């Protein structure tokens, strides 16, 4: 699978999700989708990012948009994280790094002076036809969910 590029269709994929049914990307055709990748459940930045998307979820839903978060954590970890934070959207588990590879989000990072492989915090906004319309990589959590919402609104207004 090729890494999606802005303006190109994202390849279909299936992943395990916190509602215990497979998430099938193509089943969301007709809806814009936000897929955000985060490093680890229950860490401060990842918790804040999820809370921010959750707080804005009604505004995303008003635009018919679905949101899913992705990390390499297990489904059990995701279910606990989602329940504890009351996230109203699902989290996808990617322990084999299939989605991470598709979206090219695995990077070498410095953690406490050591090089480690991990997810580079990234978000992808995909339109109702499955076309990638925006991406953010190596992003800062503060204000990010609002930026994604504003971009989605702008796209909705400028759509032919």
Query: Tens digit of pLDDT for each residue in 32-64?
Result: 999 999 999 999 999 999 999 999 999 999 999
Q: Where are the alpha helices (DSSP H) in 1-113?
A: 44-62, 75-85, 98-102
In a domain, 56, yes or no: yes
Domain count, the chain: 1
| Active-site entry in 46, 65, 83, 100 | 46
In a domain, 28, yes or no: yes
Count CA within 13 A, CB hemisphere, residue 102: 19
CATH number at residue 133: 3.40.30.10
pLDDT, one tens digit per residue, over 78-116 is: 999 999 999 999 999 999 999 999 999 998 777 678 887
In a domain, 3, yes or no: no
Q: Is 100 a catalytic residue?
A: no
């Amino acid at each position: 699978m090729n890494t999606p590029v802005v303006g190109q269709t994202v390849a279909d994929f299936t992943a395990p999700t916190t509602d215990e049914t497979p998430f099938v990307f193509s089943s969301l055709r007709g809806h814009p989708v936000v897929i955000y990748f985060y490093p680890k459940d229950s860490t401060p930045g990842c918790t804040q990012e999820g809370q921010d998307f959750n707080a804005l979820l009604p505004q995303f839903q008003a635009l018919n948009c679905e949101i899913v978060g992705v990390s390499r954590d297990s489904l059990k970890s995701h279910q606990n994280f989602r329940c504890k934070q009351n996230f109203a959207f699902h989290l996808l588990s990617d322990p084999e790094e299939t989605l991470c590879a598709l979206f090219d989000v695995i990077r070498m990072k410095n953690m406490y002076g050591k090089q480690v492989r991990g997810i580079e915090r990234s978000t992808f906004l995909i339109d109702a036809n499955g076309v990638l319309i925006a991406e953010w990589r190596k992003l800062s959590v503060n204000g990010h969910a609002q930026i994604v919402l504003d971009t989605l609104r702008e796209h909705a207004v400028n759509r032919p």
